[in-house]
Amino acid sequence: MTTRQDIIRQALAEAGSFISAQDLHARLQSAGHRIGLTTVYRALHTLAGDGMADTLREKDRQHVYRACGSREPHHHLLCRACGTVVDVPASALERWAETVSGEHGYTDVTLIAEFVGTCTGCSSVPAPQEAR
């Protein structure tokens, strides 16, 4: 890992939650690091590929990243209201995907799953009342 990649990895870990490449780049710039946005994108892509960063696609199709807390294969359960993310073990879903893809003759399948719902904390918050 290069020095710049290590700086990006550390900044991602310090962010503590999912962050876009643009926002991470802005943080690095304001901290005095002279790192280009393209370098940030490349480093995040490499970190995600190596299992050192998680990535999600937001509603606007933008990818966000966070330092990976688990080296085990997992997927994410994301609260659509507050953005809380829970890591979900991949084993059962991976077996299902392997079975289904095998039934259709597919090999070398990569499973990418994101579950979006509403967490307990947000479910218990009453919806704002409309103005009359």
pLDDT tens profile 65-98: 988 876 777 788 888 888 788 888 888 888 899 9
The answer on 57 and 13 residing in a single domain is yes
The answer on 53 and 13 residing in a single domain is yes
pLDDT on residue 132: 47
Q: Is 55 helix (H, G, I), strand (E, B) or coil?
A: strand
Q: Is residue 125 part of a domain?
A: no
Please list the alpha-helical segments (H only) found in the chain: 3-15, 21-30, 37-49, 91-103, 120-123
The answer on 86 and 39 residing in a single domain is no
According to DSSP, the residues that pair with 30 across neighbouring strands are none
Which domain covers residue 75, as residue numbers?
71-120
Look at the chain and count its residues.
Answer: 132
pLDDT tens profile 26-65: 999 999 999 999 999 999 999 988 888 888 887 777 889 9
